[in-house]
Chains A and B, each alone.
Chain A
């Protein structure tokens, strides 16, 4: 009897049993508390029950399983660091990292859904919102009763968000919002959007735009070859009247959305290593099962080289993430430090996915194994929340004191 075999029946199930175990080559589990280990085990069980049996089917059919939103709410994957009084988990940043690692072990798209809700919607409302806004939105976002999205990127402004064109005017008893946002995770299913827009003076503010406000639409982005189990869309604002109480007053300027991105990028640093672990674990098992020339392919030097390099890179990234978690917890983590970890983890994950795919030979091409899906997902992850190159420049600016992109 396996403890992870109680998956409900579902039309899109895969025949594969999920035997995932995370590598812990340097006994890094010793750095975690008993509670951290229970959190990781719980989210892993959740992913084995609710995500991995179905994910290949969802990704293949480009299907966002909207029922996952309330399930994430129930397990506590939304806003784990938000205090309990607002419906959050009241957990530390290591816990948050572990939750993201385990969810992205299942799928980067699923992790995107969770980290947008937690870091990019709940975080700004909790950090910059009024007490009324917190009471109104946070418990519903935490429980999954509401899904949120975050609007910063625009069709003409990706790496340069300060050039944004979305604007709002003060009309006395309301604000009038005009503009468009693009590449927005969760947008087509979102009940609210935290939108960043400029006022008449060109200063950036956050506004909470609610589904149903006249002139607000969220067309879906079609034809993605990546994050196919998560939904992506645009936010279009055409003379949207936003009530004044929906303005986030706590912070203005580009620093406000950037601070949200720091929190989300931290989650990605852990998450991407989850995807890497899944690929490594699959490759390790396969290399022992697959027989060629009369012996397991794991007995060949070139396969061993790949596995040894994968494990080395995963282990280094685990240590980096763990230390970054402590810095986050102490409020000491800097944006460049977070950039380094996000950038490193995604690169490690992309390389591990590709090597693991090669170890699987032709079998690695199919959805019987997770590598191709992770690999395609990671092409988004390496691009969103600061591209791979922009993170280099953030580090470069920190090292030299000279900003290369402004």
Chain B
């Protein structure tokens, strides 16, 4: 079983978000970065599948040198090797194209990643990778087992869940409860030191998206209590102040 796990390098969930350069660039100053939580689930399941079936895990990140501590953590958790595509992840298509190129040269059975990143939350990359490679992509995957050449998985759908059997290779966008997050142990951290982290130049690709600017959501306003007898006032406020209709 040859598994590729794509990881994002994203701000910790408690980070304060701000922008610079006329609100066109995310301000990374003082921000703690982590493995994307959904990618972390994908990695945890990959480690379990490797324990069960044997094989190897390659971690992949598209990012500049600053992402290497995050990649090392993936190695400490259980990836055997890593690739960093040395480029700013410009948009979903750019990242998907980089991943697809790596997969073409690698003969992977499973390409796992989170169902979405938690910085831009696009949730597009797994679908694009599947399309670029002409293989099935499924998301959001909550359970994943492998039997022979078949992936048995369950997927969250509107109002229920869908059970699927898909022939490998596949791309899966993962979410809980596919596995429990793994905390790297001391031995894993030590061994990560000597695992290979290969840096590759980006595969050429056009940038399809340009950020014009970011806008912070409006601050939450206070709660107004309206007397139960005063429905007219409530309707008026909803219409003219909150403008919900």
Could you tell me the distance between the alpha carbons of A2 and B118 in the complex, rounded to whole angstroms?
Answer: 11
- Determine how close the nearest CB of chain A comes to the CB of B124; give it in whole angstroms: 19
Closest to A76 in B: B186
Alpha-carbon gap, A74 to B185, bound state (A):
7
**Within 8 Å of chain A (Cβ to Cβ): is B183?**
yes
Q: Which residue on chain B has the smallest CB distance to residue A45?
A: B183
A31 touches B (CB below 8 Å):
no
Decide if B184 touches A42 in the complex (CB within 8 Å).
yes
Within the complex, the shortest CB–CB distance from B67 to chain A, in Å, comes to: 12
A91 at the interface (CB under 8 A from B): yes
Q: Is the CB of B190 within 8 A of A91?
A: yes
Residues of A within 8 A of B40 (CB): 3
- B 186-200 binary contact with A (CB < 8 Å = 1; else 0): 110110110000000
Does A1 have its Cβ within 8 Å of any Cβ on chain B?
yes
* CB pair A49 B183 closer than 8 Å: yes
**Chain B residue contacts of A2, Cβ below 8 A:** 13-14
Contact of B12 among A3, A6, A38, A49 (CB under 8 A): A3
| Cβ-Cβ contact count across A and B, 8 Å cutoff | 59
Partner of A3, one of B180, B181, B189, B192: B181
Tell me, rounded to whole Å, the shortest Cβ–Cβ distance linking B63 to chain A.
15
* A53: Cβ under 8 A from any B Cβ: no
Let me know if A90 is at the binding interface, CB within 8 A. yes
Residue of B nearest to A38 (CB): B189
Cβ of B187: which chain A residues have Cβ within 8 Å of it? 76, 84, 89
Q: Which residues of B contact A95 (CB under 8 A)?
A: 186
Most buried by A among B14, B72, B186, B187: B186
Q: Does A291 touch B at the CB level, under 8 Å?
A: no
Contacts of B72 in A (CB 8 A): 34-35, 38
Q: Within 8 Å of chain A (Cβ to Cβ): is B73?
A: yes
Please report which residues of chain B, range 195-223, place their CB below 8 angstroms from some CB of chain A when the two chains form the complex.
none
Residue on A nearest B41 in the bound complex, by CB: A6
- CB-CB nearest in chain B for A99: B186
A37 CB within 8 Å of chain B: yes
- A76 to B186, alpha carbons, bound, how many Å? 5
Q: Which residues of A contact B180 (CB under 8 A)?
A: 6
Name the distance in Å between B33's Cβ and chain A's nearest Cβ.
11
Tell me which residues across on chain A come within 8 A of B118, comparing CB atoms.
1
Say yes or no: A42-B37 contact (C-beta < 8 A), given A2-B14, A34-B69, A34-B72: no
Does B133 interact with chain A (Cβ within 8 Å)?
no
Question: Is the C-beta of A80 less than 8 angstroms from some C-beta in chain B?
Answer: yes
Knowing A3-B34, A37-B69, the reply to whether A80 touches B186 (Cβ < 8 A) is yes
CB-CB contacts of A1-35 with B at 8 A, as 1s and 0s? 11100100000000000010000000000000011
Q: In whole angstroms, how far apart are the Cα atoms of A38 and B184 in the complex?
A: 9
Q: Does A326 reach chain B (CB closer than 8 Å)?
A: no
- The answer to whether B76 has its CB under 8 Å from any CB of chain A is yes
The answer for the CA separation of A91 and B76 in the assembled complex, in Å, is: 14
Q: In the complex, what's the smallest C-beta–C-beta distance from B95 to chain A, in angstroms?
A: 21
A90 to B180 Cα, complex, angstroms: 27
Instruction: Give the size category of A's interface with B.
Output: 20 to 34
Give Cα distance in the complex from A99 to B187, angstroms.
13
Question: Which residue of chain A lies nearest to B40 when distances are taken between CB atoms in the complex?
Answer: A3
Q: Report the nearest B residue to A74, measured CB to CB.
A: B185
A-contact 0/1 string along B32-44, CB 8 Å cutoff: 0010010010000
Contact across chains for B186 and A89 when beta carbons are under 8 A apart:
yes
Q: Are A39 and B186 in contact (CB under 8 A)?
A: yes
Chain A residue nearest in CB terms to B181: A6
Q: Is A91 a contact partner of B186 (Cβ separation < 8 A)?
A: yes
Contacts of B34 in A (CB 8 A): 3
Interface flags for B59-79 (1: CB within 8 Å of A; 0: not) read 000000000110011001000
- Chain B, residue nearest A96 (CB): B186
Residue A46 is within 8 A (CB to CB) of chain B in the complex:
yes
Q: How far is the CA of A232 from the CA of B91 in the complex (A)?
A: 58
Give, as a whole number of angstroms, the nearest-CB distance from A368 to chain B: 21
Q: Give which listed residue, B12, B73, B190, B192, contacts A89 with CB less than 8 A.
A: B190
Residue of B nearest to A95 (CB): B186
Please report the C-alpha to C-alpha distance between residue A19 and residue B189 in the assembled complex, in whole angstroms: 24
Q: Which of B147-195 contact A (CB under 8 A)?
A: 180-181, 183-187, 189-190, 192-193
Chain A positions 98-134 with a Cβ under 8 Å from a chain B Cβ: 99
Which B residue sits closest to A90, measured CB to CB? B190
Task: Name 24 interchain pairs, CB-CB below 8 A, sorted by A.
Answer: A1-B37, A1-B118, A3-B37, A6-B180, A34-B68, A35-B193, A38-B184, A38-B189, A39-B186, A42-B76, A42-B184, A42-B185, A42-B186, A75-B183, A75-B185, A75-B186, A76-B185, A76-B187, A77-B186, A80-B186, A84-B187, A89-B187, A90-B190, A99-B186
B interface vs A, CB < 8 Å?
12-14, 34, 37, 40, 68-69, 72-73, 76, 118, 180-181, 183-187, 189-190, 192-193
Q: A1-B13, A19-B14, A89-B186 are in contact. List 4 more A-B contacts (CB 8 A).
A: A1-B118, A38-B72, A42-B189, A76-B189
A-B pairs, 10 with minimum CB distance? A76-B186, A89-B186, A76-B185, A45-B183, A75-B185, A42-B184, A34-B69, A46-B183, A42-B183, A38-B189
